[in-house]
Structure formats: C-alpha cells, structure tokens
Copies of this chain bind each other. A is one copy, B any other.
Amino acid sequence: MSKQVVPHGLGVTPVRSAYQQIADQLRSLIVSGELSPGDRLPSEPELGQAFGVGRSTVREALRSLSSQHLVYTSRGVNGGTFVADVDPRTITAYLETSLGLLSASGLTVDELLTVREMLEVPAARLAATERTDDELAALRTAVEQENAESGTQHEHPQGFHILLLTCAHNGLLEVVTQPIFSVLKNRFLRGNAPSEFWDQVCLDHQGMVEAIDRRDADTAGELMQHHLHRLREAYLEMDRR
C-alpha cells in the first residue's frame, strides 16, 4: 500500500516530543493566567530539572514560546525568561505574514476585499462619530500629504486608512483590518496604477475627511463604500493582467 504523506503536521503524532510537551504545558500556564505578564520563569537549568530533561530541550521549548511572543528572555544577572504581555502589534504582524502566505495560495482578492468592506465601512462611520479633534487634524495632514505627492510614488496610501481605523477607537478593529489592508496593498500595488487612479483615491479620501469633520456617519460610510468599490474594480483589473 502506498503511504500517503501527511501534508503538514496535522496528522496526530503518536508521541509529542519533549520540547513540544514542555512548550504546551508552559503555554497553558500562561494562557490560563496562572502565570501573569512579568512573572519570571525558573532558570533554564531549573526548568530542565523540574521537567526531567536537558537544558537544550528546555531551550527549544522556550524558543517556541518566545516566537509566539508569549515569553521573552533577557541576559545577565537578574535576567531570565519572563511572561510577556500581549502587544496588539504582535498579532497584527503575525496576521500580516500569515494572510500574505494564504493569499499566495488559496485566498482570493474577492474574499479579501469583501471582508475589508465589512470592516472599513462601519469603521468610517465610527470614525465620524468617535474621532477626536487631534485625530481629525492627523487625517487632514495625511490627505494633504497624499495630494502633495500626487503623480509620484504614493508611498503612503496606508496612512489614511490606518489613521481612520484608529479614529474608530476599537483596538480589535485595528488588529484585524490592518493586515487585510496590508496584504492587498503588498499584493497589488506594484506601482503600476495610472495617475487618474490616484487622483480619484485622493478625492475619495478628501471627501471622507470632510464627512468625518461634520461627524456625518452616513456620508462617511457611503463614501468608503464607493471608494472600496472603485478599488475592487482596479484590483480585479490588475489581477487579470
């Protein structure tokens, strides 16, 4: 019988290796809250003795946890391994690379744009009602900068959208939306968009800023919707080529 190779680590492995088991145990201590951010784990030799394994094994388990940003280590006396407190930017970064890979195989532009609409249209509405004056000023600055570099590279089209997300005052919204935005940008903005495209983008952004200025949620939402529909067409166009 021909053995089918498991695509990746999903098939249940008969025995989990020692470093995995140790990582699992420590992880569950952390996510369950038995270990709080800032807590210091025993030193590597102590952990090794506690689990009955060598230091190499402990270190591999710790590397595993630290790459998930659950712990971090520092050297020197009073150094050691500490439980990390979660940073939303960590999650954003992970999502960005993961979704980037997914989009390279399996994830369609349409799916990305659909979810982006679900999030950014309400975000624009929220921004209109929740924004502070400082944030409004920052939005204006971003749009002006976009206008200034009209015709050139447009290096920072993300400025506006990300600022708008912060205006909504919802950390989770930022965390999930920003990676989607980045993936779309990285995948399809290879600098080969016509100049009129960017002019229209600037106009859209400007209109939204004014609606947000007036705290006009309905208009802001509608403008975002139209804006994203235009983007969809442009992206699909680029995708065909």
Residue numbers of A with Cβ under 8 A of B are: 7-10, 19, 23, 27, 30-31, 33, 37, 56, 59-61, 63-69, 72, 82, 84-88, 90-91, 94-95, 97-102, 104-107, 111-112, 114-115, 118-119, 122, 126, 170-173, 175-176, 180
Which 5 A-B residue pairings sit nearest by Cβ, starting from the closest? Answer: A64-B67, A8-B84, A9-B72, A63-B63, A86-B101
**A7 & B87 in contact (Cβ 8 Å cutoff):** yes
A97 vs chain B, min Cβ distance (A):
5
Nearest opposing residue in chain B for A94, CB measure: B94
**A67 & B68 in contact (Cβ 8 Å cutoff):** yes
Nearest opposing residue in chain B for A102, CB measure: B86
Given A84-B8, A171-B106, check contact A68 B94 (CB 8 Å). Answer: yes
Assembled-state Cα–Cα distance A171/B72 (Å)? 32
**B19 & A115 in contact (Cβ 8 Å cutoff):** no
**A101 & B8 in contact (Cβ 8 Å cutoff):** no
Given A19-B63, A64-B63, check contact A102 B91 (CB 8 Å). Answer: yes
Assembled-state Cα–Cα distance A88/B172 (Å)? 19
Assembled-state Cα–Cα distance A203/B102 (Å)? 37
List 4 other contacts, CB 8 Å, given A95-B95, A115-B119: A9-B69, A9-B84, A19-B63, A115-B173
Query: Which residues of chain B are within 8 angstroms of A61 by Cβ–Cβ distance?
Result: 63
Nearest opposing residue in chain B for A170, CB measure: B111
Assembled-state Cα–Cα distance A50/B71 (Å)? 29
A116 vs chain B, min Cβ distance (A):
9
**B99 & A91 in contact (Cβ 8 Å cutoff):** yes
Query: Which residues of chain B are within 8 angstroms of A107 by Cβ–Cβ distance?
Result: 171-172
Assembled-state Cα–Cα distance A105/B72 (Å)? 18
Nearest opposing residue in chain B for A89, CB measure: B10
**B67 & A8 in contact (Cβ 8 Å cutoff):** no
Query: Which residues of chain B are within 8 angstroms of A94 by Cβ–Cβ distance?
Result: 68, 94, 98
